[in-house]
Each structure stands twice: as structure tokens, then as C-alpha cells.
Amino acid sequence: MKIHIPTPLRQYADKKDTIEVEAGTVAEALSGLTAKHPDLRRHLYTDEGKLRAFVNLYLNDEDIRYLQKENTKVQQTDTLSIVPSIAGGWSH
Amino acid sequence: MLKIDKSNYDALRAHGEETYPHECCGVLLGRAEGDERIVTSIVRAGNTRTDSPQNRYHIDPRELIRIQRQGRERGEDIVGFYHSHPDHPARWSATDLAEAHWLGCSYVITGVDHGQAKITNSFALLGDDELQKQFVDEQIEVSAAQAGELAETQARS
């Protein structure tokens, strides 16, 4: 399956915007990704090993939070998009 | 440095005037060349913070995926984002920094004063990770026209 890498993380993935991995679940896909590119790990996960809150994962067009989260099964034709949040505002 | 043509520059400022007194938001597409980000198109996005649109913005990741996919088809990449500050300065806030995660991208902010776009500033989000990230002021270079438009103008004259 393909994993789309967002602009800010490509420097840790040999400047690639898409990485191919073999996986049966989202967790396996991320594990495969960080095995190939270990520098990505600290940007995706906290020190406690949890996915950072601002990292959104979409399996095709579905947020995995509303599926089975990292246990969501994947097909080889699926696409996983890593999308850091975009938000802000003048409010302090 | 952020390079953008006048048409896109005016459009992102106009967006803030249209959504006033709410914050507008959108995506900057183009390419990065070293320390420069060159904007070739902008795409308006919806502000999902309908609970507090006058001082907060958030772009739905699904919308961003769509914008990114369309940009990829044209050979464009996400190089930054823009939003407006209604009746507040065109400077990043603590919230802007806390919620910024696209390291290496430009964040453009327009101050919209009583419905009129005033100053537009750009800030590069730099740093190696979340702990070290910071906004650094960057120059905006506004060109007169896109290369295609310029070539058309020259061909007609």
C-alpha cells in the first residue's frame, strides 16, 4: 500500500512524497514506514509511543479514529495519508 | 522568502475581507527551492471552527487531502497556508504557533481591519521538531504577473 508523506516529513523519508509498504493493518503500515525511515518515528510518536495528537491518519478518505484506529485492516490498493493538523487564530 | 504573483496575493487578501469578521483560511501550493517557497496557486479552504470563527481557524484534513491530490496532479506541492486576523495584527499568536506543525512551510497572515485587508505578513515555520519550532519573519516578494500571463501579454503587444 502507499503512504503519502506530508511536506514537513519528507526530509526524514529520503525526500519521498510516497512510500510503499506491505501491511495488513494501519499499525503494520506505520511500523513498516518507520522501519525504513527511523527518523520519522519521533515526529509521528510521543516518547510514550503514542501517535501525536496533531497527526491525522486517513485511510483513503476515512479518518482512522472513526474506523478501528491503528488496528484498521488495509488492502494493498489502499492509501494512507499522514496529515498534520492545520489550525490557529489570533486568540491566545 | 515567499514568492507569489499579485493575482494570488490579492486573492488571499480578498478572501479575508469576504469572510470578515471571521477568519479565512486556505492553502498555498507551489514548490520549494532551497529557502524559498514559490506559490503558483492558492486554494480556499473552509474554516471548521464554526464555534469560534472570529478568532480561530481549522482546515478539515479531508479537504487538505483533496487539495493535495489535485495539486499533485498539476505537479504542485503544499508550501504553506494563509489565514486572516479580523481586527487584529498580522502577527502570529501563541495559538498560531502551538497549532502549527508543517515545518518548512510558510504561514501567511493578513490583518483585516473593519473589513479592509491591511498588512499581510509571512512567517516560515522552522525547527527540527515540535520542541524547537519557531516562526521566523520572511519577506514576501510579489511579482506583477504569472509567467504565463506575462507571455500572453507580450504576445498580444
Average pLDDT of span A40-62:
94
Cα B19 to Cα A5, A91, B79, B84, B97: the distances in Å are 31, 17, 23, 9, 22
CA atoms of B102 and B98, how far apart (whole Å): 11
Strands of B36-45's sheet, edge to edge? B134-138, B116-126, B106-113, B77-86, B25-33, B36-45, B2-5, B140-143
ipTM: 0.91
Select the more confidently predicted residue: B148 or B124.
Answer: B124
Ordered domains of chain B (ranges, CATH): 2-156 (3.40.140.10)
- Does the residue A90 lie in any domain? no
Residue at A92 is within a domain? no
Residue A92 has pLDDT above 80, yes or no: no
Q: Does position B3 have pLDDT exceeding 70, yes or no? A: yes
CATH label of the domain that carries residue A50 = 3.10.20.30
Q: With contact defined as beta carbons under 8 Å apart, do B121 and B88 qualify?
A: no
A73: CB partners within 8 A, 6+ apart? A24, A25
Nearest to B46 by CA among A2, A33, A86: A86
Mutation target for B interface from A60, A63, A86: give the one with most B CBs within 10 A: A86
Residue A26 pLDDT exceeds 90:
yes
Q: Measure B52 CA to nearest chain A CA, in Å.
A: 9
Is pLDDT above 90 for B28?
A: yes
Please report where in the chains the cell 495528537 appears, as a residue: A53
Collapsed DSSP state (helix, strand, coil) of residue B71 = helix
Sequential DSSP letters for B29-40: EEEEETTEEEEE
Active site annotation includes B23? yes
DSSP 8-state code for residue B107: E
Cβ of A90 within 8 Å of Cβ of B93? The answer is: yes
Distance CA B36, CA B31 (A): 9
Confirm whether A89 is domain-assigned.
Answer: no
Distance CA A75, CA A23 (A): 8
Q: What pLDDT, on the 0 to 100 scale, is given for residue B145?
A: 65
Beta strands in A31-70 (DSSP E): 55-59, 62-63
**Which H or E run contains B95?**
helix B94-98
Give tens-digit pLDDT for B29-84.
999 998 999 999 999 999 999 999 999 999 999 999 999 999 999 999 999 999 99
pLDDT digits (tens, 9 = 90+) for B125-154: 999 989 999 999 999 999 986 544 444 444
Residue A75 maps to a domain:
yes
Interface of B with A (CB under 8 A): 23, 25, 32, 49, 52, 55-59, 61-62, 64-65, 68, 72, 77-79, 81, 83, 85-86, 88-89, 92-97, 99-105, 107, 129-130
DSSP-assigned letter for residue B130: T
In a domain, residue A66? The reply is: yes
Considering the entire predicted model, what is its pTM?
0.92
Of A8, A42, A58, the CB nearest to B62: A58
For B14-25, write each residue's pLDDT tens digit. 999 999 999 999
pLDDT of residue B27: 98
- A91 located within any domain: no
What's the domain range around A24? 2-84
Give the separation between CA B75 and CA A28, rounded to whole angstroms: 30
pLDDT for the residue B74: 95
- Domains: count for chain A: 1
